[in-house]
A = this chain, B = another copy of it.
């Protein structure tokens, strides 16, 4: 009882908890876009951002235990590990799209919040 009991079983808070993490949405977005991706492939997708291997591994683990992504390891040399979305993950994609649309709508009104370099 007591602590945070009111949030127990709340679907919204559950969803919030699952996508908690700086790179979660981006990972989901990439997997949704490309289907199956290897670890390094995913890492490269983030290009020059500051995502470290540690965080990528950690977030992928969490997403896996949350039934959001599937991890498939092949016993090869060198090792190969592929990630893809589960059914639950795929069903989440429409939300991502709506968030994107809302973001675009918001940017039209207020900009993206980053400094724009005026000429």
Contacts and interface: CB of A to CB of B under 8 A. Distances in A.
Interface residues of A, number: 47
What is the oligomeric copy number?
Answer: 2
Contacts of A100: 11-12, 15
Given A26-B13, A48-B6, A98 B101 contact: no
Interface stretch (A34-42, A52-60, A74-82, A103-111): A103-111
Given A3-B49, A16-B25, A98-B98, 19 more contacts: A3-B48, A5-B48, A6-B49, A7-B26, A12-B26, A12-B29, A12-B96, A12-B99, A12-B100, A12-B103, A13-B26, A14-B103, A14-B112, A14-B113, A15-B100, A15-B106, A67-B106, A88-B106, A91-B102
